Amino acid sequence: MKLSSLKIFYLIKSFKNKAILLMVVAIVVATFCLPKFSSFAYFEYKILDYYQDIRVKVSQSLKPKPETMKLYVTAYSSTAEQTDDTPCIASNGYDLCKHNKENVIACNFLPMGTKVKFPELDPHKIYTVVDRMHERYNSRMDIWMRSTQDAKDFGLQYLEVEIYK
């Protein structure tokens, strides 16, 4: 026996106890519809996790990977005997004495503005190439320091350098 929609409508309309009818409809909806909705919610959650994993992998692949090498590192200060007749002015015009920050280096084999780190000295401090050295020091870096005594105490060290190009 097939029930048409008109017969179902008359069956519902003639039903005297509406509370029982609503309860039956709620049970039918809960039985047949809610598992589908909850599975969609679970599916959406898995999709969001998948996209989050992709975002993490992409961000890790885009982080700059430094070139590392070990080389000799020295230190210098702004004195005429260690530099030229303008000891406070670096070769790119940066005023070392005015800024008075020990986060710059002199280097011949890297372009101006290149960022480097010395993990053995301070793994979080970033140095910038702003100066050049004498041409005989083509495989060395020179860290600028405020005082001549600090530069002498630093001496010559063989350090690992991370270069960020």
Q: Are residues 80 and 127 in the same domain?
A: yes
pLDDT less than 50: residues of the chain:
1
| Per-residue model confidence (pLDDT) at position 104 | 92
Q: Kindly report, residue by residue over 12-40, the tens digit of the pLDDT.
A: 666 666 667 677 777 776 666 655 555 55
Q: Are residues 33 and 110 in the same domain?
A: no
Q: Are residues 83 and 53 in the same domain?
A: no
Q: Are residues 11 and 80 in the same domain?
A: no
Q: Are residues 157 and 144 in the same domain?
A: yes
Q: Are residues 41 and 112 in the same domain?
A: no
Q: Are residues 54 and 124 in the same domain?
A: no
Residues 29-66, buried b or exposed e (16+ Cβ, 10 A)? Answer: eeeeeeeeeeeeeeeeeeeeeeeeeeeeeeeeeeeeee
Q: Are residues 18 and 81 in the same domain?
A: no
